[in-house]
Structure 1
Amino acid sequence: MNKKKIFNDPVYGFVTIPTELLFDLIEHPYFQRLRRIKQLGLTDFVYPGALHTRFHHALGAMHLMALALRTLKDKGVKITAAEGEAALAAILLHDIGHGPLSHALETAIFQDVPHEQLSLYLMQRLNAQFGGRLALAIRIFQGEYERPFFHQLVSSQLDMDRLDYLNRDSFYTGVTEGQIGGDRLIKMLTVDPASERLALEEKAILSIESFLVSRRLMYWQVYLHKAVTSAEQMIIRLVSRARDLARAGRAVPANAALHFFLAKPITIDDFAQDENILQRFVQLDDFDIWSAVKCWATHDDLVLSYLSRSILDRHLLKIVLSPTPFDADFQLGIQELIADKFQLPPEEAALLCIAGRLSNNAYDAAKGETIDVLTKSGHILNVAEASDLPNIQALSKRVDKFYICYPKELREE
């Protein structure tokens, strides 16, 4: 069987699968599940074209990884066939642990269970199934391999993950500000010979700035769009309500896999200790959530049914933004209006008033994950130090906005 297949990707054109191992990973049910998880969750409520999946994104990131490795090889960086395949496998599987609706339900279904940890558990299980052939990929994914630039290509402030999702999300939403010139950035990649850390050539500084500006704009216009925020908070709140009802002994219809996670708290330690929980997890996808929401639209719990009907009909909660937090008295006043309008007790009325914070930080060098520039004189500098442009300094500052969501029926009266 010929396993060196070609995918026709709308963003990059033809994407090749370079090895049989990578093809077998793509064919595995764990990876095929990503076809049923949208990359941008509920963003299609605002941008109707944003229907692409984690499957699309993983293949695109693998393609960019292949281009990056070829660039580094052409510049004299020694990369063995085993290292190259491992890096491609690591980026291909980096999102395999995502749950339904991508990031939206990480806190509603689970309890402190990051998708990165679930990706690692699934990679370890795949490694056992493939006779240890993913051992190096796992070391790269975890940042334990002695050549750190491989991990940086998978996870850093300028990795193949970010380059793909900004390009891809820009393409499918139609928000052209997200187009980042990824080809040039990849062509400018290099490796510091002394530390074997990833860097970019000095002439890439303007491209790095453009990348960071695009990232900042995409967060405000797409990922943190106010209507997207309202929709995501609604789905989080309604699944949380279904979870609380189920754990209180109320009947909440859902398929077996979803009901398992609704019925009792599951922590990351539970995943580590019981492989059956991981097997239940890989049965979950977006379709499980939507089929349950359709059932919950007629539930006798008013909060659950109201939120379910509203999200199905795109009757989103009104959202108001502010540069400062909303004070407690203001929130209490809204909750009292909700209680009066819907004839709800105060504790249930509070569930239809959602407040929170949006944070946008395009470049965070404080955590030690800098974008480094290799100067012509051979020195490594943080791009914020290497650039004489004020924009990169400004993009390093976090910008916060505060929001409050409540039913539109209050405004209409």
Structure 2
Amino acid sequence: MSYSEEKLDEEKVFKDPVHRYIHVKDRVIWDLIGTKEFQRLRRIRQLGTTFLTFHGAEHSRFNHSLGVYEIVRRIVDNVFIGRPEWKENERLLSLCAALLHDLGHGPFSHSFEKVFHFDHEAFTQAILLGDTEVHQVLKRVDPVFPQKVAEVIAKTYKDKQVVSLISSQIDADRMDYLQRDAYYTGVSYGHFDMERILRVMRPREDQVVIKRSGMHAVEDYIMSRYQMYWQVYFHPVTRSAEVILTKILHRAKQLYQDHYKFQYPPTHFHSIFVEDVTLEDYLKLDESVILFYLQSWQQEEDPILKDLCNRFVNRRLFKYIEYIPNNEQLTKLVELRGLFLEAGIDPDYYLILDSSSDLPYDFYRPGEEGERVPIHLAMPNGKLKELSRESDIVDAISGKRRTDHKLYFPYDFLKDFSTNPSIKKKILSILRYK
């Protein structure tokens, strides 16, 4: 029996709060879970700084990755099995891609990527193809198997049906994180009838489609996603924490480049700050490392780094006001920056405009950047119909991008500022924050 076909003597089961049980029978999957690169995901939170808003949001990328694997396993083993449109020889590839899709995430994923211009998918592919334990396991299946998994992650794999299971507008990734994040944040928005969706999924030549009878379950799923983004993922308090974290990383990098003498030198950041990061350096970073520096840098002499770290560690977050990007508001922002400078408060670190944007569903727009493959319904006559053409609910939000802007600032600085009362009054008057 080849390694790719090898089964465990006894099925392994993970207890899971979302899916109840996660089942592992394939030797390859069990060996991948045991690699140090996959175990690192235990030390990367799924929701970054969201735990400072929703205290239960402490779950990890490890949890989520197992959940995505389990959903794909259920689809290929229970729904697609035996259907002529599904290629059984793609089963193991689909399971491995599902399990490993988030392997390259860094600590506080999106904040980290934003500051250092990293792409977690590029790092995922580097882990799959580099000198890693994960690569060694995959290579035992077949010398080209690591490349195939990397192509699925990059969405370039020839069989688009496999890609759509992991990355599409209705994929296992989204179906897991919506339910998992709802569970751990304690909100109800992310819940939808996944069981129904799985039952009505069907493989087609180059995609996964939904039976027409399952349309209402898909509508519910899309609205759940919409609500989760605006009630959880883009929560203004979470964004305040992200703003502070990104400014900490910017400040530490600036001080490093200015040859500032750190009491606690950022050894783990050296290759990142000089923009010569290796995969080995990257994999040494997790959130325990970042939190060590945030805790330590509260003792630094630099007042900005010290204050920002104190704010993050002790949850002294910035306040915010709504911001509408027009000429009047831009003029006020320029005036505010000048007043902050007069007050001795660096606006680059303490007056931050943050924007969040989401497109809940879109139909196919050929040639456009970030074009999306739409969700198709399999009609009773066998033909396919794009979801928004059949659903009034989905049609109402299709192609409509919603953007929200907030202006963040340290209200406690301004409230306690007494050196020049007139400047304080002007700032608060412009902000209209009382």
* TM-score > 0.5 by shorter chain: yes
**Bigger CA drift: 67-76 or 230-239?**
67-76
Kindly provide the amino acid, as one letter, of the partner of residue 356 in structure 1. Answer: D
**Counterparts of 2:381 and 2:169, CA distance in 1:** 24
**Counterparts of 1:32 and 1:411, CA distance in 2:** 44
**Counterparts of 1:2 and 1:75, CA distance in 2:** 28
Counterpart of 2:191 in structure 1 is 179
Deviation (angstroms), 1:146: 3.2
The answer (yes or no) to whether the contact 1:86–1:134 under 8 Å persists in 2 is no
**Counterparts of 1:336 and 1:145, CA distance in 2:** 52
**Counterparts of 1:238 and 1:94, CA distance in 2:** 28
The answer (yes or no) to whether the contact 1:338–1:410 under 8 Å persists in 2 is no
Which of 233, 255, 268 is residue 257 of structure 1 equivalent to?
A: 268
* Matching of residue 236 in structure 1 with residue 246 in structure 2: yes
Kindly provide the amino acid, as one letter, of the partner of residue 79 in structure 1. Answer: K
Counterpart of 1:401 in structure 2 is 404
Q: How many residues align structurally?
A: 393
Counterpart of 1:308 in structure 2 is 309
Counterpart of 1:335 in structure 2 is 337
The answer (yes or no) to whether the contact 1:3–1:23 under 8 Å persists in 2 is no
The answer (yes or no) to whether the contact 1:258–1:288 under 8 Å persists in 2 is no
Counterpart of 2:319 in structure 1 is 318
Which of 106, 120, 126 is residue 125 of structure 2 equivalent to?
A: 120
Kindly provide the amino acid, as one letter, of the partner of residue 223 in structure 1. Answer: Y
Counterpart of 1:98 in structure 2 is 105
Deviation (angstroms), 1:305: 1.2
Kindly provide the amino acid, as one letter, of the partner of residue 235 in structure 1. Answer: L
Query: What secondary structure is seen at the aligned counterpart in 1 of 2:113?
Result: coil
In structure 2, runs of 5+ residues without a counterpart are: 1-7, 366-370, 417-434
Deviation (angstroms), 1:349: 3.3
Identify the structure with bigger relative contact order (alpha carbons < 8 Å, sequence gap 6+).
Answer: 1
Deviation (angstroms), 1:68: 1.3
Query: What secondary structure is seen at the aligned counterpart in 1 of 2:181?
Result: helix
Deviation (angstroms), 1:308: 0.7
**Counterparts of 2:150 and 2:358, CA distance in 1:** 30
Deviation (angstroms), 1:50: 0.4
Counterpart of 1:274 in structure 2 is none
Deviation (angstroms), 1:135: 4.0
Which of 377, 384, 397 is residue 381 of structure 2 equivalent to?
A: 377
The answer (yes or no) to whether the contact 1:352–1:407 under 8 Å persists in 2 is yes
* Matching of residue 295 in structure 1 with residue 296 in structure 2: yes
- Assess, with a 3 A threshold, how the Cα gap between structure 1 residues 153 and 35 changes in structure 2: closer, same or farther: same
Kindly provide the amino acid, as one letter, of the partner of residue 354 in structure 2. Answer: G
**Counterparts of 2:230 and 2:310, CA distance in 1:** 27
Counterpart of 1:145 in structure 2 is 157
Deviation (angstroms), 1:218: 0.4
Deviation (angstroms), 1:395: 4.5
The answer (yes or no) to whether the contact 2:86–2:203 under 8 Å persists in 1 is no
Q: CA RMSD in A?
A: 2.0
Kindly provide the amino acid, as one letter, of the partner of residue 331 in structure 1. Answer: L
Query: What secondary structure is seen at the aligned counterpart in 2 of 1:17?
Result: strand
Counterpart of 2:176 in structure 1 is 164
Counterpart of 2:236 in structure 1 is 226
The answer (yes or no) to whether the contact 1:43–1:50 under 8 Å persists in 2 is yes
Deviation (angstroms), 1:368: 3.6
**Counterparts of 1:244 and 1:265, CA distance in 2:** 13
**Counterparts of 2:229 and 2:198, CA distance in 1:** 22
Counterpart of 2:208 in structure 1 is 198
Superposed CA deviations along residues 233-273 of structure 1, whole A, max 9, x for unmatched, are 110111111011112211343453233323x124xxxx6xx
Superposed CA deviations along residues 108-128 of structure 1, whole A, max 9, x for unmatched, are 2x23x2101110111112564
Counterpart of 2:33 in structure 1 is 26
The answer (yes or no) to whether the contact 1:51–1:172 under 8 Å persists in 2 is yes
Query: What percentage of aligned pairs have identical amino acids?
Result: 26
In structure 1, runs of 5+ residues without a counterpart are: 272-276
Counterpart of 1:349 in structure 2 is 347
Deviation (angstroms), 1:340: 4.5
**Bigger CA drift: 16-25 or 161-170?**
16-25
Superposed CA deviations along residues 259-303 of structure 1, whole A, max 9, x for unmatched, are 3323x124xxxx6xxxxx001111100011111111211222222
Whose radius of gyration is greater, 1 or 2?
2
